[in-house]
Amino acid sequence: MLKLSGGRPLWERVSLDVFARSVHGRLMREGLILKLSCPDKPGLVARIASHASEFQANLVEFNQFIEQERGVFYARLEIDTASLEVPVEDFIASFEVLGRAIQANWHFRRLPYTMRTAVLVTKTDHCLNEILWRTQLGELPIEITSVIGNRTDCREIAETAGLPFHHVEMTGDKEEGFRRIEALLDKQEVELAVLARFMQIIPPWMCEKYEGRMINIHHSFLPAFIGANPYRQAYERGVKFIGATCHYVTGDLDAGPIIEQEVERVQHHHSVQDLVRLGRDCERSALARGIRHHVHDRTIIDGRRALVFPD
C-alpha cells in the first residue's frame, strides 16, 4: 500500500490506516481467492463447495457464470481460511484432484496481498492523481513501484507522493524507449502496468509480453470517435453521452477486452471545454474501477471480452 507523503499529521495517517483496515478489511484478512473455468456440467457448485467444506474452509463469496453457447463454467470464490484444519498450502494442493476431475483451469491468490504496479503517464495528471488517492485510502491493494513518463509533467506529483519518477524520452527511437520501459518493469518485478493517459502506441511485442497485465484508459465510450480530437468530434456530432473505456491492452489498437466503462449525459449548452471536464471524470472513475476489478481478481479474459464479477 502506498505510503502517505511526509508532512501529514499523525492523527490523519492513523485515521486513514484505520479506515482502510475497517472498510476494506475483506482483503486485509487471511484467505484465498480462487478463479476457475471448466466445461459446464451438473453439480459443479456443489462439488466445489463440498471440497471447501471438507477442510472447514468458509466460502465468503461465490460468483459463477455459464457461457451457454460454448458450455463453459466460470467462477470466482473468496475463501476465509481462518478455520482450516490443514495448512493453506495443503488446501491449495488438495484442489489438484478436483480440478483435474472437472477439467478445470484454476488459479489461487493468497490474501492479503498487494500487487506491484507501475503507472505510465504523458502530460495529463488526473488519472494518476485518482490512482494515488484511492491507493492511499486503501481501495486499491497495490504497491506503486514507480511512475514512468515520456514527458516530465507528472514528475512533481510522483515525487511528492514519495514515488520514483522515470523519464523515458520517446521523440527519437521509440523502440529504444519501449525497451527502456521494459527493462524498468522487469527490474521492478511489475505485475500490472497501468497506462494512465500514456499517449503512446504500445508495440505488438510488448502487448504480447504483458497480455492480461496491462490496462489502458481510452478517452471515449468505445467503439466511437477514434482518432484525433475525440471531444471535438463528439461536440460536432451533438452527442448526448460521452464516456471512457478501461480495457486490457492488445496488439489491436484500443480493441482489447473491456473491463469497465463510464458515461456522462451531454446537454446542448455544454461547450467543448465542458465535454473535456466531463470526460476527465469518466476517465478517472472507469480506470479506478478497472484497476480494482483486476487487482481483486474479478476479471477473467474470455477471448475478445473480459468477464467481470460484481464487486
Whether 27 has a pLDDT exceeding 70, the answer reads no
Task: Convert the pLDDT of each residue in 111-152 to its tens digit.
Answer: 999 999 999 999 999 999 999 999 999 999 999 999 999 999
Name which of 18-22, 100-104, 105-109 the model is least confident about: 18-22
* Other Cβ atoms closer than 10 A to 307: 18
Whether 9 has a pLDDT exceeding 70, the answer reads no
CATH number of 29-111: 3.30.70.260
Q: What is the mean pLDDT of the chain?
A: 87
The fraction of the chain above a pLDDT of 90, given in percent, is 69
Catalytic: which of 254, 274, 281, 302? 254
* The pLDDT of residue 55: 94
Element (H, E) at 306: strand 305-308
Domain boundaries, the chain: 29-111, 115-308
Nearest to 122 by CA among 147, 88, 142, 159: 147
Q: What is the mean pLDDT of residues 39-45?
A: 96
Query: Is 252 tagged catalytic?
Result: no
Task: Convert the pLDDT of each residue in 163-175 to its tens digit.
Answer: 999 999 998 889 9
End-to-end CA distance of the chain: 20
Superfamily of domain 115-308: Formyl transferase, N-terminal domain (3.40.50.170)
Alpha helix positions (H), 103-166 = 126-137, 155-160
Q: What is the mean pLDDT of residues 285-293?
A: 96
Whether 286 has a pLDDT exceeding 70, the answer reads yes
* Torsion sign over Cα 280, 184, 301, 136: negative
